[in-house]
Amino acid sequence: MSLALFDMDGTLIDGDTNDISFSQYLAKGLIDNSVIDKLNYFEDLFYKGVLDINEFVRFAVTPILNFSKEKRDLVLDGIVKDHIYPKVRAGALKQIKFHQDRGDTVVIVTSTMDYLVEVVARYLNIEYYLGAPMEQVQGQLTGKQSGIVPYQKDKITCVKEFAMQHNLSLEGMFGYGDSVNDIPMLSICEHKFAVNPNYKLLEHEFIKECTVVDWS
């Protein structure tokens, strides 16, 4: 049995869950177009591999910061059910099942906020996930982080901590990612897969170490 590490946006999902959720926040009147413009600015930095992830997650939580847990759960469940889950790649579902049938420990590893990843993981029947840990007090988001965000080299930090907590080996790991931000995580995996890689990853020297797969 091995660890199977899946990036989420662009890998499991044919798209970006922040784009999808923010478009729904806009449709529901929770934000205006200026917030979308700022999101696009952050995402451009992300795909270039130069995003300040801590600044981004503090921004990303703001549309639902004042929601009760009950309202937040209701809104996010609807967004995932109707707009995110339909964008799960067919190949991703097959590969998740492959690893679960093998008895592997499947983990989503993403810099997306943990409260959103939790809902996606539930729809994918995945028990474990590592997302940007956002502080909650009695179920209410405070807007603060409560730990390290799994982004770039810190994906390694978070994976190693998870493995230690669950007494799991780092040997023989499988890793799946689509961007240069996933290179650190993939680098510690024996089996490296570039899933529908974006142009920055395709142009990177590291792509030679990966098996390129199309999960469309």
Q: At what angle do helices 17-27 and 33-48 cross, to 10 degrees?
A: 180
pTM here? 0.95
What are the strands, taking DSSP E only, across 162-201?
A: 174-177, 191-195
- Please, what is the end-to-end C-alpha distance for the chain in angstroms? 27
Domains and CATH numbers, the chain: 3-213 (3.40.50.1000)
Per-residue pLDDT of the chain (216 residues; tens, 9 = 90+): 899 999 999 999 999 999 999 999 999 999 999 999 999 999 889 878 889 999 999 999 999 999 999 999 999 999 999 999 999 999 999 999 999 999 999 999 999 999 999 999 999 999 999 999 999 999 899 999 999 999 999 999 999 999 999 999 999 999 999 999 999 999 999 999 999 999 999 999 999 999 999 999
Which of 24, 4, 9 minimizes the C-alpha distance to 131? 9
- Cβ-based neighbour number of residue 77 at 10 Å: 13
CA dihedral over 147, 149, 154, 160, signed as positive or negative: positive
pLDDT of residue 70: 94
H-helix or E-strand spanning residue 106: strand 105-113
Identity at 139, one-letter amino acid code = G
**Main-chain dihedrals φ then ψ at residue 192, nearest 5 degrees:** -110, 125
For residue 195, the one-letter residue type is: V
- pLDDT score, position 48: 82
